[in-house]
Amino acid sequence: MRAGRTLGCLLVVVLVTTAGIGPALAQSGQRSGQVVGQPDITIQSSAGELTPGTSVKLPLSITNRGQIDRAGPAQYQQRVTTARGVSLDFQDENSPIDVDSGPVSVGNVPTGTRGVSPVRVTIPDHLEPGSYELPVEYEYSYTRVVEFSQASVEYNDLTRTRTATLTIEVEDKPQFEVVDVESNAQVGDRNDVSVTLRNTGTKTAHDASVTAQSQTAEMSFGAGPKTSTGYVGEWNPDETKTVSYSVALSDDAPHRGYSLGLNVGYTDSDGIERTSPSLETGISTAAEQSFALENVSSTLRVGEDGSISGTVTNTGPKRVNSTVVRFADEGSPNVIPIERSVAVGALEPGDSASFRLPIEVSSEAEAGAKSLDFAVRYRNSEAETRQYTKLDVTADIAPERDQFDVDVQESTITSGGEQAITVSVTNELNQTVTDVEARIFADDPLDTGDDDTGYVESLEPGESVEMTFELSAAESATEKTYPISFDFRYDDERNKSQLSNTIRVPMEVTAADGGFPLSLVLITGSLLIGAVGVFWYRRD
C-alpha cells in the first residue's frame, strides 16, 4: 500500500429520470428492486522466465470475474461488475525488478480478460535465479448497488484501491558478461581484437561459440564479412573464455571507438540449442599509420640515369618494421625506376631515415616538374605486410644534354693536308662510365682514314681525357668550315651498353702555304679563256 493513500468508498447517489426505465423493467419482469455486485480483478503476466542483465517488455493481462450478490436486470448487473477507469501503478521500491514505466491507464474493464499495454522492466545483471515479487497497485471505480423502480434509478458508486503481486521468474541457465577487451584495431589496417567473457549463470553451456557482429560499415572481419564466430566449447559457471577476432577498419574510417555486438550460442542441459541475449562492448582504435617524405631532391635529366633522394619519417602512431620506400607511379612511362624500392629498416614513431632511389628518364620524356607517386611498405606489430600509399613527390627533370663534351684543340686543316688532331673528351654524366669508345666521322672533302676510334677504360663524372685522331683534307677542298662528328659507346654504372648523342664540331679548311688557292686558279682560268675568245672574235 502506498503511503498517504486512504482506502475507502465514496457513496454517490444518482437520480435518474424514468425515461427508458419502464421498458427495461417490463422486459425484465421486475417493477422495482436492487442489484448488488462488484468487480473481481486479477492481474497476470505471461512473461515466462526472464534473464538477468536484460531489459524486456513485460506482457500483461487483466481479468475481471465480476461478482453478483443480488441479481436483476442485465444492464444493471453489467453496471455493478464493470471496473471503470482502471489504472495500474507498479511498486518497485522494494523489489529487485526495476520498472521503467510510470502508471498505466487501462480504461473500463467489463467481465472477462483483456490485454494491457506491456511495461518495460530491467532484470539486474547478478540477480540469482528464482521467483521474485513485483507489487502492483491498481485503482478503479465501480457501482456497488443499483436501486431501481419505475420512477427512478439510484447508483451507489465507489472507488477502490487494491494491491496485486506479480511473480517474476528469473531463469536458471547460463548467462554471460564481457569482462575484458584487448584491441590492436587501427584505421586502415587489420589487427586482432580479443574479448574475454564470463559465464555468470548457474548452468554449464555446452558446445558454446561466441559470434561478434560489426555495428558499422567501416568495420569488418577478415576479408570483409560483418560477423565472425569463435568456438569455445564447454563453458562452466564463473568460467571465463577469450575469443580473438581479426578486425579490419577501412582507410576512411573515423578515428574513434567502435561498438561490437556479441551473442553466445550454446546447447543447454536439456540438449536444446539456445542463443544468449545480445551483449555489446566497445573497442578502442589507433589512428591510421602514416609517413611523410621530406627534404626530397632529384638529379633527373632527360635521357639519363638519375635519382630521387630524401628522408622518410614515421608520423605514427606505432612502431613499424622492415620499412621500404617504394616508387609506385604507373602514370609516367618515361620515368623508369632502376630500383623500385629501398629498405630503411625499423622506425619508431617520429624516427626518420634517408633513402635514395635510382631512376632512368628516357629520351622521350619532357623536361619540367613531375608529380610522382610513392608508397611506404612495412610490417605492423603482428608482422603482417601493409602499405601506405598517400605520398607523392614533385621532381624536376632537367633538359637533355650531351653525355660528353668534346673540345678539338686543332680546329683548322689545310687543303690537301693531313694531320693528327687532339680531342679533349669530358664525362658530363653524373656517373662513372667504363669501356668508352669514341669514333670520329667526316664527309668529303674531309677523311678520317682507318684510324677513326679512340678508347679509355673509365671516366668519372667531370673527368677529361685526350684522344688523338688522324684527319685529312682533299686538295680540292674549298676554303670553308666543315663539320666533323663524334659519338661514344660506353657502359653505364649498371654495365648497360649505351650510345651517346652525336656531337658535331667545326673544322676549317684553309689553302696550303706558297700556292695559289684553287678558287683563284679557277677564276684566272676563266678570265684567260674569255680573253682568248674576245681576241679570236676581233681577228675575224
Pair 44, 60: CB distance under 8 Å: yes
Mean pLDDT of 335-349: 95
Question: Residue 6: pLDDT above 50?
Answer: no
The answer as to CATH 2.60.40.10 being correct for domain 33-170 is: yes
- Determine the pLDDT at residue 10: 36
The domain 176-283 is placed in CATH, from the list 3.90.650.10, 3.90.25.10, 3.40.640.10, 2.60.40.10, at 2.60.40.10
DSSP H/E element including 166: strand 153-170
DSSP H/E element including 21: helix 21-28
Q: What is the pTM of this model?
A: 0.60
Question: Residue 14: pLDDT above 50?
Answer: no
* pLDDT, tens digit, 9 for 90 and up, residues 162-199: 999 999 998 888 889 999 999 989 998 988 999 999 99
* pLDDT, tens digit, 9 for 90 and up, residues 407-431: 998 889 999 999 999 999 999 998 8
SS3 188: coil
Question: Residue 527: pLDDT above 70?
Answer: no
C-alpha to C-alpha distance for 138 and 159, rounded to whole angstroms: 11
Label the pairing between strands 112-123 and 240-249: unpaired
Closest CA to 131 of 91, 172, 94: 172
* pLDDT, tens digit, 9 for 90 and up, residues 74-116: 999 999 999 999 999 999 998 999 998 889 999 999 999 999 9
What residue spans define the domains of the chain?
33-170, 176-283, 291-397, 404-510
Query: What CATH class does 291-397 carry?
Result: mainly beta
Question: Residue 335: pLDDT above 80?
Answer: yes
* pLDDT, tens digit, 9 for 90 and up, residues 221-238: 977 789 999 999 999 999
Question: Residue 142: pLDDT above 90?
Answer: yes
The answer as to CATH 2.60.40.10 being correct for domain 404-510 is: yes
* pLDDT, tens digit, 9 for 90 and up, residues 42-59: 999 998 888 777 889 999
Asked if the domains 176-283 and 291-397 are classified in one and the same CATH topology, the answer is: yes
Distances (CA, A) of 136 to 45, 60, 148, 508: 12, 11, 36, 123
* pLDDT, tens digit, 9 for 90 and up, residues 291-331: 999 999 999 999 888 999 999 999 999 999 999 999 999 98
Cα torsion at 282, 283, 287, 288 (round to 10°)?
A: -120
Pair 426, 458: CB distance under 8 Å: no
Distances (CA, A) of 221 to 34, 246, 342, 481: 76, 6, 32, 79
